[in-house]
Amino acid sequence: MIESAKYRNRIELLQGTLDMLILQALQREPMHGYAIAQIIRNRSGEVLTVETGSLYPALHRLEKQRWVKSEWKLTESKQRAKYYQLTALGKKQLASDHQRWLQLVRAIGAVMEPEVQQ
């Protein structure tokens, strides 16, 4: 009970950002969940670790919103895995998320370091 609340909180905290990160990870090619987690971890220089408990709920939610679609495929090591692929809708969403994110970063930057801006 308590644990489940914890998971929920984390999803909530990361929600918008995590969605964007996942969509971004999928931009080039379809990928399975494990690879998505690895990519985010590697690209962020090991700063952002996506918990499995956040990743899969997020993936399933994105799929429900039709931003990604999934199919079972074999990996290079001949293992069955579920691959997620960006849909057209997902691409649009990613673009707008990215846009908003940039705005936010700029805005926060301006607030935090006003002298740099001037």
Partner 1 sequence: MRWPWDRAKEDLSEELESHLKMAISERVARGEDPAQAQAVALRELGNMPLIEDVTRERWGWMWLENLLRDTCYALRGFRRNPLFTISVLVTIALGIGATTAVFSVVDRILFRPLPYADPGRIVSLGFVHSLERQEFVMGRFYVEWQKDQTPFSVLAAQSTGVHNCDLVEDKPAQLGCISFQANFLPLFGVSPVLGRNFLPEEDRPNGPRVVMISYGLWKSHYNNDPHILGRTINVDGDFARIVGVLPKDFQFPTLEQADIVTPFALDPAVQQTVNGGFGYPERVFARLKPGVGVVEAYAQMQPLFNDDLKLFPPSAKSETHLSIRTLRDKEMQDVRLVAWVLFGFVLSVLLIACANVAGLMMARGAGRQRELAVRSAIGASHGRLIRQALTEALLLSFAGGLAGLAMAQALIMMFVHLAPTGIPFIGKANLDLRIAVFAALLSCICGVIFGLATALQKPGLAALNAKASMSRSHAFLRRSLVTAQIAFSIVLLSGAVLMLRSFSKIEAQDLGIETGGVLTMKAALPWWRYNTDQKVKNFYLRLETSLRRLPGTFAVGMASSIPPAAGGSQSFRFSDLVVEGKPPTPPGIGGNVTGRSVTPDYFRALNIPIIRGQNFAEQDRTGDEREAILSRLLATRLFPNEDPIGKRFQSDGFRGGAGTIIVGVADNVKNNGLTDQSDPEMYTLRRSVSDDWSGNRLIVVIHSVMPASTIQPWIRSEIASIDRTVPVETEPLNQTISRMADRPRFETMLLGFFALTGLVLAVVGLYGLIAFMATQRTHEIGLRMALGATRADILRLIANDGLRMVVVGLALGLGTALTVSRILKALLFQISVYDPLTYIVVPLFLSLVALVAVLIAARTGMRVDPAVTLRAE
Q: Which residues bind partner 1 (CB under 8 A)?
A: 1, 3-4, 7-8, 11, 32-34, 51-53, 56-57, 60-61, 64, 75, 77, 79-82
Nearest-approach distance from CB 116 to partner 1, in angstroms: 39
DSSP helix/strand/coil, 76:
coil
Nearest-approach distance from CB 14 to partner 1, in angstroms: 14
Cβ closest to partner 1, residue 20 vs residue 83: 83
First to last CA, the chain: 50
Within 10 A of 62 (CB to CB), how many other CB atoms are there?
23
Edge-to-edge strand ranges of the sheet holding 31-32: 31-32, 80-86, 68-74
Nearest-approach distance from CB 7 to partner 1, in angstroms: 5
